[in-house]
Amino acid sequence: MKILIVPDSFKGSLSSRQAADAIEEGIEDLRFEIEKIPMADGGEGTVDCLISAYRGQKLRDFVTDPIGRMIQAEFGILKENKTTIIEMASASGLLLIPKEKRNPLYATTYGTGELIRKVIECGFTKIILCLGGSATTDCGAGALQALGVKLLDKKGNNIRFGGLYLKDLKRIDISALNKYKNIKITFLCDVSNKLLGVNGAASVYSQQKGASIEEVQILDDNLEQFTRIVKKDTGIDIAKFEGSGAAGGLAAGLSLLFKSHFVSGSEFVINATNLRKKIQNADIIITGEGELNSQTKFGKIPYEIAGIAREYNKTVIGVFGNITKETKEEYKQEFTYMSALCEQGISKEKAMQNAYSLLSVKVKKIFEDLQLN
Protein backbone atom coordinates (compact mmCIF):
# COMPACT_ATOMS: atom_id res chain seq x y z
CA MET A 1 0.00 0.00 0.00
CA LYS A 2 1.36 3.43 -0.99
CA ILE A 3 0.92 6.39 1.33
CA LEU A 4 1.54 9.96 0.14
CA ILE A 5 2.23 12.51 2.92
CA VAL A 6 1.66 16.08 1.68
CA PRO A 7 1.08 18.59 4.50
CA ASP A 8 1.43 22.35 4.50
CA SER A 9 3.09 24.00 7.51
CA PHE A 10 1.42 24.28 10.92
CA LYS A 11 2.08 28.01 11.22
CA GLY A 12 4.02 28.96 14.32
CA SER A 13 4.68 25.32 15.21
CA LEU A 14 5.94 23.10 12.40
CA SER A 15 7.36 23.60 8.95
CA SER A 16 5.77 21.45 6.26
CA ARG A 17 8.87 19.23 6.34
CA GLN A 18 8.62 18.77 10.11
CA ALA A 19 4.91 18.01 9.79
CA ALA A 20 5.63 15.37 7.14
CA ASP A 21 8.25 13.76 9.40
CA ALA A 22 5.86 13.73 12.37
CA ILE A 23 3.13 12.10 10.28
CA GLU A 24 5.57 9.46 9.06
CA GLU A 25 6.54 8.63 12.66
CA GLY A 26 2.90 8.00 13.46
CA ILE A 27 2.66 5.33 10.74
CA GLU A 28 4.17 2.25 12.33
CA ASP A 29 3.40 -0.45 9.78
CA LEU A 30 6.55 -1.09 7.74
CA ARG A 31 4.53 -2.70 4.95
CA PHE A 32 3.54 0.74 3.70
CA GLU A 33 5.49 2.46 0.96
CA ILE A 34 5.71 6.10 2.05
CA GLU A 35 6.50 9.20 0.03
CA LYS A 36 6.77 12.62 1.70
CA ILE A 37 6.38 15.91 -0.19
CA PRO A 38 6.33 19.00 2.06
CA MET A 39 3.89 21.46 0.49
CA ALA A 40 3.26 25.20 0.49
CA ASP A 41 0.80 27.64 -1.08
CA GLY A 42 2.89 30.75 -1.53
CA GLY A 43 3.64 31.30 2.15
CA GLU A 44 6.36 30.00 4.41
CA GLY A 45 8.06 26.89 3.08
CA THR A 46 7.47 27.62 -0.60
CA VAL A 47 11.15 28.22 -1.32
CA ASP A 48 12.08 24.85 0.19
CA CYS A 49 9.33 23.13 -1.76
CA LEU A 50 10.26 24.65 -5.13
CA ILE A 51 14.00 24.28 -4.60
CA SER A 52 13.42 20.58 -4.05
CA ALA A 53 11.12 20.29 -7.06
CA TYR A 54 13.42 22.19 -9.43
CA ARG A 55 16.75 21.10 -7.91
CA GLY A 56 17.77 24.64 -7.12
CA GLN A 57 20.02 26.15 -4.50
CA LYS A 58 19.21 28.11 -1.35
CA LEU A 59 21.18 31.23 -0.33
CA ARG A 60 21.03 33.89 2.38
CA ASP A 61 21.66 37.62 2.48
CA PHE A 62 21.31 40.44 5.00
CA VAL A 63 18.20 42.63 4.74
CA THR A 64 16.06 44.90 6.91
CA ASP A 65 13.23 43.19 8.78
CA PRO A 66 9.74 44.77 9.21
CA ILE A 67 10.79 46.78 12.27
CA GLY A 68 14.20 47.91 11.07
CA ARG A 69 16.57 45.23 12.37
CA MET A 70 19.19 43.53 10.18
CA ILE A 71 18.47 39.83 9.63
CA GLN A 72 19.49 37.06 7.24
CA ALA A 73 16.78 36.18 4.73
CA GLU A 74 16.72 32.99 2.68
CA PHE A 75 15.94 32.80 -1.03
CA GLY A 76 16.30 30.21 -3.77
CA ILE A 77 17.98 30.35 -7.14
CA LEU A 78 17.56 28.35 -10.34
CA LYS A 79 20.69 29.27 -12.29
CA GLU A 80 19.76 27.58 -15.56
CA ASN A 81 16.89 29.94 -16.33
CA LYS A 82 18.02 32.97 -14.28
CA THR A 83 15.11 32.58 -11.85
CA THR A 84 15.07 33.37 -8.16
CA ILE A 85 12.44 32.36 -5.61
CA ILE A 86 11.75 34.79 -2.77
CA GLU A 87 9.40 34.43 0.19
CA MET A 88 8.45 37.90 1.29
CA ALA A 89 7.90 36.38 4.75
CA SER A 90 11.61 35.65 4.97
CA ALA A 91 12.34 39.39 4.90
CA SER A 92 9.03 41.02 5.90
CA GLY A 93 7.08 38.27 7.66
CA LEU A 94 4.86 38.42 10.73
CA LEU A 95 6.72 35.63 12.51
CA LEU A 96 9.91 37.71 12.47
CA ILE A 97 8.41 40.13 14.99
CA PRO A 98 7.67 39.52 18.70
CA LYS A 99 3.91 39.62 19.31
CA GLU A 100 4.11 42.76 21.44
CA LYS A 101 5.80 44.67 18.59
CA ARG A 102 3.49 43.67 15.75
CA ASN A 103 1.71 46.63 14.15
CA PRO A 104 1.22 47.19 10.40
CA LEU A 105 1.05 50.95 11.01
CA TYR A 106 4.84 50.85 11.30
CA ALA A 107 5.96 47.58 9.65
CA THR A 108 7.77 47.87 6.31
CA THR A 109 8.46 45.78 3.23
CA TYR A 110 11.83 47.49 2.73
CA GLY A 111 13.71 44.22 3.28
CA THR A 112 11.77 42.46 0.54
CA GLY A 113 12.70 45.27 -1.82
CA GLU A 114 16.35 44.93 -0.79
CA LEU A 115 16.27 41.23 -1.58
CA ILE A 116 14.68 41.85 -4.99
CA ARG A 117 17.26 44.53 -5.79
CA LYS A 118 20.15 42.25 -4.81
CA VAL A 119 19.07 39.32 -6.99
CA ILE A 120 18.51 41.64 -9.95
CA GLU A 121 22.00 43.06 -9.47
CA CYS A 122 23.27 39.46 -9.62
CA GLY A 123 21.73 39.04 -13.08
CA PHE A 124 18.44 37.29 -12.34
CA THR A 125 15.64 38.41 -14.66
CA LYS A 126 12.75 36.23 -13.45
CA ILE A 127 11.44 36.30 -9.89
CA ILE A 128 8.92 34.01 -8.25
CA LEU A 129 7.67 36.04 -5.28
CA CYS A 130 5.73 34.20 -2.57
CA LEU A 131 3.31 36.55 -0.83
CA GLY A 132 2.07 34.70 2.26
CA GLY A 133 2.77 35.52 5.90
CA SER A 134 3.34 39.28 5.72
CA ALA A 135 3.62 41.59 8.72
CA THR A 136 2.85 44.65 6.62
CA THR A 137 0.08 46.79 5.15
CA ASP A 138 2.22 49.38 3.37
CA CYS A 139 1.20 48.69 -0.26
CA GLY A 140 4.81 47.73 -0.95
CA ALA A 141 5.94 51.30 -0.28
CA GLY A 142 9.03 50.15 1.60
CA ALA A 143 9.97 47.71 -1.16
CA LEU A 144 9.55 50.45 -3.76
CA GLN A 145 11.85 52.73 -1.80
CA ALA A 146 14.48 49.99 -1.55
CA LEU A 147 14.27 49.68 -5.34
CA GLY A 148 14.86 53.40 -5.82
CA VAL A 149 11.34 54.79 -6.15
CA LYS A 150 10.93 58.27 -4.67
CA LEU A 151 7.80 58.50 -2.52
CA LEU A 152 7.80 62.16 -1.57
CA ASP A 153 5.94 64.14 1.08
CA LYS A 154 5.03 67.83 0.84
CA LYS A 155 8.61 68.82 1.76
CA GLY A 156 10.12 66.62 -0.94
CA ASN A 157 11.41 64.00 1.49
CA ASN A 158 10.79 60.26 1.26
CA ILE A 159 7.83 59.24 3.41
CA ARG A 160 8.53 57.21 6.54
CA PHE A 161 8.11 53.42 6.74
CA GLY A 162 4.76 51.81 7.54
CA GLY A 163 1.11 51.98 6.58
CA LEU A 164 0.53 54.96 8.85
CA TYR A 165 2.69 57.23 6.70
CA LEU A 166 1.16 56.42 3.32
CA LYS A 167 -1.11 59.40 4.02
CA ASP A 168 1.89 61.68 3.66
CA LEU A 169 2.54 60.80 0.02
CA LYS A 170 2.18 63.83 -2.25
CA ARG A 171 4.25 62.81 -5.27
CA ILE A 172 5.82 59.67 -6.72
CA ASP A 173 8.75 59.63 -9.12
CA ILE A 174 9.72 56.41 -10.96
CA SER A 175 11.32 58.11 -13.96
CA ALA A 176 14.77 56.65 -13.34
CA LEU A 177 13.66 53.04 -13.13
CA ASN A 178 13.66 51.82 -16.73
CA LYS A 179 16.30 49.32 -15.62
CA TYR A 180 13.51 47.09 -14.30
CA LYS A 181 11.47 46.96 -17.50
CA ASN A 182 12.78 43.51 -18.50
CA ILE A 183 12.32 41.91 -15.07
CA LYS A 184 9.37 39.54 -14.76
CA ILE A 185 7.71 38.70 -11.44
CA THR A 186 5.31 35.83 -10.85
CA PHE A 187 3.29 36.43 -7.68
CA LEU A 188 2.31 33.29 -5.79
CA CYS A 189 -0.54 33.78 -3.34
CA ASP A 190 -3.47 31.98 -1.77
CA VAL A 191 -5.86 34.95 -1.74
CA SER A 192 -7.55 36.98 -4.46
CA ASN A 193 -8.56 40.03 -2.39
CA LYS A 194 -8.35 43.42 -4.01
CA LEU A 195 -6.46 46.18 -2.24
CA LEU A 196 -9.27 48.38 -0.88
CA GLY A 197 -12.62 48.12 0.87
CA VAL A 198 -14.37 45.59 3.09
CA ASN A 199 -12.57 42.69 1.45
CA GLY A 200 -9.29 44.53 1.09
CA ALA A 201 -5.82 44.21 2.57
CA ALA A 202 -6.48 46.29 5.67
CA SER A 203 -10.04 45.18 6.43
CA VAL A 204 -9.44 41.44 6.17
CA TYR A 205 -5.86 40.92 7.31
CA SER A 206 -4.42 43.83 9.30
CA GLN A 207 -5.97 42.86 12.65
CA GLN A 208 -4.12 39.54 12.63
CA LYS A 209 -0.95 41.58 12.05
CA GLY A 210 -1.54 43.61 15.22
CA ALA A 211 -3.84 46.48 14.19
CA SER A 212 -6.80 47.59 16.30
CA ILE A 213 -10.27 48.05 14.80
CA GLU A 214 -9.68 51.81 14.65
CA GLU A 215 -6.31 51.30 12.98
CA VAL A 216 -7.87 49.08 10.31
CA GLN A 217 -9.85 52.06 9.04
CA ILE A 218 -6.77 54.29 9.16
CA LEU A 219 -4.86 51.77 7.06
CA ASP A 220 -7.64 51.39 4.50
CA ASP A 221 -7.93 55.18 4.17
CA ASN A 222 -4.17 55.48 3.76
CA LEU A 223 -4.04 52.74 1.11
CA GLU A 224 -6.72 54.62 -0.81
CA GLN A 225 -4.76 57.89 -0.53
CA PHE A 226 -1.58 56.13 -1.70
CA THR A 227 -3.27 54.58 -4.75
CA ARG A 228 -4.86 57.92 -5.66
CA ILE A 229 -1.48 59.67 -5.75
CA VAL A 230 0.11 56.78 -7.65
CA LYS A 231 -2.62 56.93 -10.30
CA LYS A 232 -2.32 60.72 -10.58
CA ASP A 233 1.45 60.61 -11.11
CA THR A 234 1.85 57.40 -13.13
CA GLY A 235 -1.55 56.76 -14.71
CA ILE A 236 -1.58 53.24 -13.22
CA ASP A 237 -4.46 51.96 -11.07
CA ILE A 238 -2.71 49.50 -8.78
CA ALA A 239 -5.90 48.71 -6.83
CA LYS A 240 -8.06 47.30 -9.62
CA PHE A 241 -6.78 43.75 -10.10
CA GLU A 242 -7.57 40.62 -8.13
CA GLY A 243 -4.76 39.81 -5.74
CA SER A 244 -3.72 43.45 -5.31
CA GLY A 245 -4.52 43.11 -1.60
CA ALA A 246 -2.15 40.18 -1.06
CA ALA A 247 0.69 40.70 1.45
CA GLY A 248 -0.66 44.05 2.56
CA GLY A 249 -0.68 45.36 -1.01
CA LEU A 250 2.94 44.44 -1.79
CA ALA A 251 2.00 43.06 -5.21
CA ALA A 252 0.00 46.20 -5.99
CA GLY A 253 3.01 48.38 -5.33
CA LEU A 254 5.49 46.21 -7.21
CA SER A 255 3.21 46.10 -10.25
CA LEU A 256 4.36 49.68 -10.92
CA LEU A 257 7.86 48.51 -11.80
CA PHE A 258 7.72 45.00 -13.18
CA LYS A 259 6.01 42.85 -15.76
CA SER A 260 3.95 40.70 -13.44
CA HIS A 261 1.13 38.21 -13.15
CA PHE A 262 -0.65 36.32 -10.38
CA VAL A 263 -0.98 32.58 -10.06
CA SER A 264 -2.44 30.43 -7.30
CA GLY A 265 0.37 29.39 -4.99
CA SER A 266 -1.27 26.01 -4.41
CA GLU A 267 -1.72 25.38 -8.12
CA PHE A 268 1.86 26.39 -8.91
CA VAL A 269 3.35 24.09 -6.26
CA ILE A 270 1.06 21.19 -7.19
CA ASN A 271 2.22 21.43 -10.79
CA ALA A 272 5.89 21.86 -9.85
CA THR A 273 5.84 18.72 -7.71
CA ASN A 274 3.87 16.64 -10.23
CA LEU A 275 1.43 16.01 -7.41
CA ARG A 276 -1.57 14.97 -9.48
CA LYS A 277 0.36 11.99 -10.86
CA LYS A 278 1.61 11.06 -7.40
CA ILE A 279 -1.92 11.17 -5.97
CA GLN A 280 -3.14 9.00 -8.82
CA ASN A 281 -0.52 6.38 -7.94
CA ALA A 282 -1.10 6.42 -4.16
CA ASP A 283 -3.64 4.53 -2.04
CA ILE A 284 -3.87 6.90 0.92
CA ILE A 285 -3.14 10.64 0.95
CA ILE A 286 -2.45 12.45 4.22
CA THR A 287 -2.52 16.25 4.27
CA GLY A 288 -3.15 19.04 6.76
CA GLU A 289 -2.07 22.41 8.13
CA GLY A 290 -2.49 24.61 11.17
CA GLU A 291 -6.24 25.18 10.90
CA LEU A 292 -9.23 24.05 8.86
CA ASN A 293 -11.55 27.05 8.64
CA SER A 294 -13.85 28.95 6.33
CA GLN A 295 -10.87 30.22 4.28
CA THR A 296 -9.51 26.75 3.52
CA LYS A 297 -11.70 26.33 0.45
CA PHE A 298 -10.17 29.41 -1.19
CA GLY A 299 -7.06 27.75 -2.57
CA LYS A 300 -5.45 26.27 0.53
CA ILE A 301 -3.25 23.22 -0.05
CA PRO A 302 -5.30 20.62 1.92
CA TYR A 303 -8.50 21.58 0.09
CA GLU A 304 -6.84 21.42 -3.34
CA ILE A 305 -5.26 18.06 -2.54
CA ALA A 306 -8.57 16.67 -1.28
CA GLY A 307 -10.23 17.74 -4.52
CA ILE A 308 -7.67 15.92 -6.66
CA ALA A 309 -7.87 12.84 -4.42
CA ARG A 310 -11.64 12.72 -4.86
CA GLU A 311 -11.25 12.75 -8.64
CA TYR A 312 -9.32 9.48 -8.37
CA ASN A 313 -11.51 8.05 -5.59
CA LYS A 314 -8.62 7.96 -3.11
CA THR A 315 -8.73 7.85 0.66
CA VAL A 316 -7.69 11.30 1.93
CA ILE A 317 -6.96 11.98 5.59
CA GLY A 318 -6.84 15.54 6.89
CA VAL A 319 -4.98 16.26 10.14
CA PHE A 320 -5.07 19.85 11.40
CA GLY A 321 -3.89 21.80 14.39
CA ASN A 322 -7.45 23.00 14.88
CA ILE A 323 -10.80 22.56 13.15
CA THR A 324 -13.27 25.37 13.77
CA LYS A 325 -16.72 24.25 14.89
CA GLU A 326 -18.57 25.93 12.05
CA THR A 327 -16.46 24.25 9.37
CA LYS A 328 -16.27 20.61 10.45
CA GLU A 329 -19.61 19.89 8.82
CA GLU A 330 -18.72 22.02 5.80
CA TYR A 331 -15.75 19.85 4.86
CA LYS A 332 -17.04 16.39 5.70
CA GLN A 333 -17.40 15.60 1.98
CA GLU A 334 -13.85 16.70 1.21
CA PHE A 335 -11.98 14.31 3.50
CA THR A 336 -12.48 10.60 4.10
CA TYR A 337 -11.34 11.21 7.67
CA MET A 338 -10.29 14.36 9.49
CA SER A 339 -9.06 15.13 12.96
CA ALA A 340 -7.37 17.90 14.94
CA LEU A 341 -4.70 18.22 17.60
CA CYS A 342 -6.98 20.56 19.59
CA GLU A 343 -9.36 17.86 20.78
CA GLN A 344 -10.14 16.21 24.10
CA GLY A 345 -9.22 19.23 26.18
CA ILE A 346 -5.99 20.13 24.38
CA SER A 347 -5.73 23.91 24.05
CA LYS A 348 -4.27 25.75 21.07
CA GLU A 349 -1.32 26.83 23.20
CA LYS A 350 -0.50 23.27 24.24
CA ALA A 351 -1.03 21.98 20.70
CA MET A 352 1.40 24.56 19.30
CA GLN A 353 4.01 23.83 21.97
CA ASN A 354 3.84 20.06 21.44
CA ALA A 355 2.77 19.89 17.82
CA TYR A 356 5.33 17.34 16.62
CA SER A 357 4.58 14.67 19.22
CA LEU A 358 0.83 15.31 19.19
CA LEU A 359 0.74 15.00 15.41
CA SER A 360 2.57 11.66 15.49
CA VAL A 361 0.24 10.32 18.18
CA LYS A 362 -2.81 11.59 16.32
CA VAL A 363 -1.82 9.82 13.09
CA LYS A 364 -1.15 6.59 14.97
CA LYS A 365 -4.66 6.80 16.50
CA ILE A 366 -6.25 7.52 13.11
CA PHE A 367 -4.59 4.44 11.58
CA GLU A 368 -5.81 2.34 14.51
CA ASP A 369 -9.36 3.69 14.14
CA LEU A 370 -9.32 2.97 10.42
CA GLN A 371 -7.74 -0.44 11.12
CA LEU A 372 -4.83 0.35 8.84
CA ASN A 373 -2.02 -0.62 11.26
Confidence of residue 170 (pLDDT cuts 50, 70, 90): very high
Residue extent(s) of CATH 3.40.50.10350 domains in the chain: 2-38+273-369
d(CA 71, CA 63): 6
Q: Once rounded to an integer, what is the mean pLDDT over residues 268-273?
A: 94
Confidence of residue 344 (pLDDT cuts 50, 70, 90): confident
Mean pLDDT of the chain: 93
Of 174-183, 220-229, 326-335, highest mean pLDDT = 220-229
pLDDT score of 35: 96
At the fourth CATH level, which superfamily is domain 46-266?
A: Glycerate kinase, domain 2 (3.90.1510.10)
Q: Once rounded to an integer, what is the mean pLDDT over residues 24-45?
A: 89
Flag whether pLDDT at 264 surpasses 80. yes
pLDDT score of 122: 93
pLDDT score of 245: 92
Q: Once rounded to an integer, what is the mean pLDDT over residues 322-331?
A: 87
pLDDT score of 243: 87
Flag whether pLDDT at 176 surpasses 80. no
Could you read off the pLDDT of 128-139 as tens digits, one per residue?
999 988 999 999
- What percent of the chain stands above pLDDT 70? 99
Q: Once rounded to an integer, what is the mean pLDDT over residues 156-184?
A: 92
Length of the chain (residues): 373
Confidence of residue 373 (pLDDT cuts 50, 70, 90): low
Flag whether pLDDT at 145 surpasses 80. yes
Q: Print burial letters for 335-362: b (CB count within 10 Å at least 16), e (below 16).
A: bbbbbbbbeeebeeeebbeebbebbbeb
DSSP 325-364: HHHHTTTTTT-SEEEESS-TT--HHHHHHTHHHHHHHHHH
Residue extent(s) of CATH 3.90.1510.10 domains in the chain: 46-266
Task: Tell me which of 3.40.50.2300, 3.30.70.120, 3.40.50.10350, 3.30.70.20 is the CATH number of domain 2-38+273-369.
Answer: 3.40.50.10350
* Type and span of the H or E element at 280: helix 275-280
* Type and span of the H or E element at 254: helix 250-254
